[in-house]
Structure 1
Amino acid sequence: MIYTVTFNPSLDYIIGVDHFKLGQVNRTKSEVIFPGGKGINVSMVLKNMGIDSVALGFCGGFTGEEFVRLIQEKGIKTELIKVKEGITRINVKMKSDEESEINGQGPNILPSDIEILYRKLDQLKDGDILVLAGSIPDVMPKSIYMDIMEYLKDKKIDIVVDATKNLLVNVLEHKPFLVKPNNHELGEIYGVELKTRDEVVPYAKKMQEAGARNVLVSMAGEGAVLLTEDGQVLQSEAPKGTVVNSVGAGDSMVAGFITGYLDKKDYKEAFTMGVCTGSASAFSVELATKAEVEALRKNNQHLF
C-alpha cells in the first residue's frame, strides 16, 4: 500500500476577479474550491492513474469536514486525524491583472495528535511506500520528517520525501528511496544557481552521496534529471505544451514516478511516467488524468 502524509492540507479557494482594486468592493467572476496539499495531490493523481493510497495527516473544524468530504468524493481513502483546536486552512488564490495568494495558518496540532499519527504509521508493512510531502506547520517539531524515518527504520519501506531546505537535508542520512527537489530548491541547499540539466547533475550527485538512493530534480520548462541508485543519469527535455496551472505539477511528477516504478520496477520507466505526469498536470486546469498522461507520453516518445 502507498501512504501519503500532508501535515497542513488546505481548501484552495481559487477566484477570478476582473481588475482587482485595493480598498474597494470586488466581485468574483469565477470561483472553485479544491482540496490542496502536496501529499494530497500525490494521492489524487495516483487515484487518477488507477492506484489506491491512504491519505494521512491532520484536519480540523468545519473546513476539515469539507476537506475530508471532497477527498472521499474522489474515492481516496483517508485516515486524517481530527484535531480539537483550529480549522483546516483556507488558501485564497486570486487571479486578476496580477495573481495574489493569502494562505491560512492551519489548526493547532498537539503532541497527543502527533502520537496518534505514529500509531497510524504502525500499520505500515514491509514493501509499502510512504510519501512525506510539503511544509510543516510552525506548531510541529522541525525534525518531524527525520523523526518519522527514524521511527520506521526497522521496516523495509520505500520513503519518498518532497520537501525543502533542512526538512529535506536532515532526512538524507536515513537513505530515503526518492527525494524530489526542483532545481531552485537544490541550488538553494548548496548555495548555487542551477539553470541547466547538466548543471544540476553534480549537485544531485552530492545529495546521493549524502544518502538519498534516487534523486529526481524537476525543472519546469527545462525538463528533469534523475540520478538512480544503480548509477544511471537520466535527463529529459520538457514535453511541449501550454502551461495552464503549474500548481501540483511537482506532486504529479512524484505520483507518476511511483506509478511507473510499481509497473516495471524500472527507473527509466518511472522517470518517463514522472515527467509526463508532471507535464500533464501543468497543461491542465486540474490534476493529470491517466488519459492525458498516456497521450502526452505517446506524443513525446522521442524525449526518452
Structure 2
Amino acid sequence: MIYTVTFNPSLDYIVRMDKFTAGAINRVNYEQVLAGGKGINVSIVLKNLGHESTALGFLAGFTGEEIKDQLKGFGVKSDFVQLEKGFSRINVKAKADCETEINGQGPDISEAKREELFAQLDKLQEGDTLVLAGSIPKTLPDDIYQKIMARLDGKGIRIVVDAEKNLLLNVLQYHPFLIKPNNHELGDMFGVKLTTDEEIITYAKKLQEKGAQNVLISMAGDGAILLTAEGKSYKCPAPKGKLINSVGAGDSMVAGFITGYMESEGDFEKAFHMGVATGSASAFSENLATRPEVEALLKTIA
C-alpha cells in the first residue's frame, strides 16, 4: 500500500489575470479552488494513474472538510487526523505576467494529535511505500521527518522524501529509497549555484554519500536527472509543450516515478521516464496529470 503524508494541507485559490498591479484592485479572468499540499498532489496523481493510496496528515475547520470532500471526489482514500481548533490553510496562487504565491500558516498541532499520526504510521508494513512531502507548520518540531523515519527504520518500508534543505538533509542517515530535490534546492543545500549537468550529478552523489539511495533531480524546462543506488545515472530532457501551471509538477513527477517503478517491477529507467512524463503533463495542464496525457508524452521520450 502507498501512503502520503501532508503535514500542512491547504485549499489553493488559483487565479489568473492579465496583469497584477500591487496596491490596486486586480480583477481575475480565471479562478479555481483545489485541495493542495505536496502529499495530497501525489495521492491525486497516483489515483489518476490507476493506483490507490491513503492520504494522511492533519486537517481542521471548514477548509479541512472541503479538502476531504475534494479528495473523495477524486476517489482518493484519506485518514487525516482531525484537529479541534483553527482551519487548514488557504494559499493564494496568482498568475499574471509573473507568478505570486501567498501561503497561509495552518492550524496548531498538539503533541497528542502528533501521536495520533505516529500511531497510524506504526501500522505500516514491510513492502509499503510512504511519501513524506512538503513543509511543516511552525507548531511541529523541526525534526518531525527524522522522528518518523527513525520510528520506521528497519521495517522494510520504501520511503520517498520531497522536502527542502534541512528537512531533507537530516533524514539521509535513514537511507530513504528516493529523494527529489530540484536543481535549485540541491545547490542551496551546499551553498553553491549549479549550472551544468556535471555539477548537478557531482552534488547529487554527495547526497548519496550521506545516505540517500536514489536521487531524482527535477530541472523544470531542462528535464531531470536520476542517480540510482546501483551507480547508474540517467538524463531526460523535458517533453515539448506549453507551460500552463507549474504548481504540482514536482509532486506529479514523484507519483509518476512510483507508478513506473511499480508497473515495471523495479526498472529505474522506465520509472524515471514515467516520472518526467507525469511531471510535464501536469505542467502543461490546468489540473494534475491524467493517464492519457502522461502516456501521450511518454511516447515522445521513452
Q: How would you bin the TM-score normalised by the shorter chain?
A: over 0.9
Aligned to 1:75: 75
Deviations 1:43-97 (A, max 9, x none): 0100000000000000101111111001111100000111112100011122334
Greater mean alpha carbon deviation, residues 92-101 or residues 241-250: 92-101
Cα separation, partners in 2 of 1:96 and 1:227, compared to 1, 3 Å = closer
Aligned to 2:166: 166
Alignment of 1:73-222 (within 5 A): 73-222=73-222
2:299 counterpart SS class: helix
Cα separation, partners in 2 of 1:111 and 1:244, compared to 1, 3 Å = same
What is the rounded CA distance, in whole Å, between the counterparts of 1:80 and 1:49 in structure 2? Answer: 22
Q: Residue type of the partner of 1:122?
A: D
Aligned to 2:281: 280
Cα separation, partners in 2 of 1:112 and 1:240, compared to 1, 3 Å = same
What is the rounded CA distance, in whole Å, between the counterparts of 1:179 and 1:17 in structure 2? Answer: 35
Aligned to 1:64: 64
What is the rounded CA distance, in whole Å, between the counterparts of 1:96 and 1:168 in structure 2? Answer: 32
Give yes or no for contact 1:196–1:222 (8 Å, CA) kept in 2.
no
Q: Return the TM-score normalized by structure 2.
A: 0.96
CA shift at 1:230, angstroms? 1.2
Give yes or no for contact 1:4–1:131 (8 Å, CA) kept in 2.
yes
Give yes or no for contact 1:12–1:91 (8 Å, CA) kept in 2.
yes
What is the rounded CA distance, in whole Å, between the counterparts of 2:97 and 2:272 in structure 1? Answer: 36
Deviations 1:219-255 (A, max 9, x none): 1111111110111111111111111111111111100
Instruction: Confirm or deny that 1:268 pairs with 2:274.
Output: no
What is the rounded CA distance, in whole Å, between the counterparts of 1:57 and 1:64 in structure 2? Answer: 11
Aligned to 2:235: 235
Q: Residue type of the partner of 2:166?
A: N
Give yes or no for contact 1:90–1:103 (8 Å, CA) kept in 2.
yes
Give yes or no for contact 1:249–1:278 (8 Å, CA) kept in 2.
yes
Number of positions where the alignment pairs a residue of Structure 1 with one of Structure 2: 301
Aligned to 1:292: 293
Alignment of 1:2-81 (within 5 A): 2-81=2-81
Q: Residue type of the partner of 2:300?
A: N
2:149 counterpart SS class: helix
Cα separation, partners in 2 of 1:199 and 1:163, compared to 1, 3 Å = same
CA shift at 1:19, angstroms? 4.2
Cα separation, partners in 2 of 1:204 and 1:25, compared to 1, 3 Å = closer
Q: Return the TM-score normalized by structure 1.
A: 0.96
CA shift at 1:22, angstroms? 4.4
Give yes or no for contact 1:182–1:218 (8 Å, CA) kept in 2.
yes
What is the rounded CA distance, in whole Å, between the counterparts of 2:224 and 2:19 in structure 1? Answer: 36
Cα separation, partners in 2 of 1:231 and 1:7, compared to 1, 3 Å = same
What is the rounded CA distance, in whole Å, between the counterparts of 2:181 and 2:25 in structure 1? Answer: 40
Structure 2 spans left out of the alignment, 5+ residues: none
Give yes or no for contact 1:239–1:296 (8 Å, CA) kept in 2.
yes
Give yes or no for contact 1:165–1:189 (8 Å, CA) kept in 2.
yes
What is the rounded CA distance, in whole Å, between the counterparts of 1:234 and 1:18 in structure 2? Answer: 39
What is the rounded CA distance, in whole Å, between the counterparts of 1:101 and 1:60 in structure 2? Answer: 22
Cα separation, partners in 2 of 1:278 and 1:26, compared to 1, 3 Å = closer
What is the rounded CA distance, in whole Å, between the counterparts of 2:99 and 2:186 in structure 1? Answer: 26
Q: Residue type of the partner of 1:230?
A: E
What is the rounded CA distance, in whole Å, between the counterparts of 2:96 and 2:256 in structure 1? Answer: 32
Q: Residue type of the partner of 1:154?
A: G
CA shift at 1:17, angstroms? 3.8
Q: Residue type of the partner of 1:296?
A: L
CA shift at 1:210, angstroms? 0.6
What is the rounded CA distance, in whole Å, between the counterparts of 1:98 and 1:203 in structure 2? Answer: 30
1:94 counterpart SS class: strand
What is the rounded CA distance, in whole Å, between the counterparts of 2:57 and 2:186 in structure 1? Answer: 26
Give yes or no for contact 2:273–2:301 (8 Å, CA) kept in 1.
no
What is the rounded CA distance, in whole Å, between the counterparts of 1:137 and 1:104 in structure 2? Answer: 10
Percent of residue pairs bearing the same amino acid type: 59
CA shift at 1:101, angstroms? 2.2
What is the rounded CA distance, in whole Å, between the counterparts of 1:131 and 1:16 in structure 2? Answer: 31
